[in-house]
A = this chain, B = another copy of it.
Amino acid sequence: MGSPLAEGVLKQDVRAAARLMRRLDDQQPDAEQALRELYPHTGRAWILGITGSPGAGKSTLTSRLIGKFREQGKTVGVVAIDPTSPFSGGAILGDRIRMQAFEGDPGVFIRSCATRGAMGGLSRSTSNVVRVLDAFGKDVIIIETVGVGQDEVEIVSAAHSTIVVTVPGMGDDIQAIKAGILEIADVFVVNKADRDGADRTVRDLQIMLEMNLNHDIPWRPPIVKTVAAKGDGLDELVEKLEAHHAFLRQSDRIAKFNRERIRREMLDALRSRLLDAAAATIDAEGGMDKLIDDVDGGKVDPFSLAESLSGKILAK
């Protein structure tokens, strides 16, 4: 153990953790060294994912869940995934402000991930933050998405227990669930369940689940009605989540989960190294603008150019 950043995280120094997360995003070598040193100290946290359409009340639900876990004496880390944040206006900022209820609580650590740019950047950034929170000793880590993009769904589905949130009266929303996120839900939440149509939404979800039930997995995703703004249904939600966690631990699913997590982290790290090498070669060839000039001027097509660059980047 030599890294002061890693030592700081293990001593539960909040500033060291925040600094390490920032430096990991900037791909600083000392941060990557710290992550390696922290690695053996991770694997203990319970990782929850929360996804669903914009406006479904995910942030309110997340802050209620934080409250419940804090009542149980558990410490909580939150990763808010917001890949679109360079564009985002007041709405998302408002969501974040609600979280400030926990600002003075040392048992809660909240971090936003908004890395755009390189493919896989968001996934890598998120799993790094989760690892750091895990090493820090957080009992529960909640990954909350702002939207329901494919990247975000993939990241959230990598949680131990994934909550998919919908609201009454969004027929289209159910369609969206059908199209992409039905299979990743371990627990469904129908939030704003004091609105008209809540029971109908529950029934629609039930029918969809019946039709799509995977009989190889002996877990039937429960559907919980909540009114997150009032705190209604939160006890039942926590109970169902804990039942899912118990189910994971009983079976060998935790082991499978850990292997998948290793695979993803390794590939994200590898991909980022390959892309760095590509960027360096493009620079050495005169930079992207010059290469585009060559194609634009008819000297070469983009596909032949990619082949010649890969010949310079790769070992053989």
Contact indicator A39/B303 (Cβ below 8 Å):
yes
- Interface segment, A97-105, A198-206, A263-271? A263-271
Instruction: Confirm or deny: A314 has a beta carbon within 8 angstroms of a beta carbon on chain B.
Output: yes
Contact indicator A179/B54 (Cβ below 8 Å):
yes
Tallying the copies of this chain within the complex gives: 2
Contact indicator B266/A302 (Cβ below 8 Å):
yes
With beta carbons under 8 angstroms apart, the residue of B39, B175, B301 that contacts A91 is B175
- Interface segment, A5-13, A239-247, A290-298? A290-298
Inter-chain contacts of A119 with B (CB < 8 A): 119-120, 271
Contact indicator A176/B271 (Cβ below 8 Å):
no
A215 to B275, CA, bound (A): 34
Inter-chain contacts of A275 with B (CB < 8 A): 271, 274
Chosen A-B contacts, 9 in total, with CB atoms closer than 8 Å, are A55-B171, A84-B150, A87-B179, A89-B179, A119-B120, A149-B150, A270-B278, A274-B274, A314-B314
Complex A-B, nearest 10 residue pairs according to Cβ-Cβ distance, in ascending order: A55-B172, A269-B306, A84-B180, A149-B149, A149-B150, A273-B310, A39-B301, A266-B302, A119-B119, A270-B306
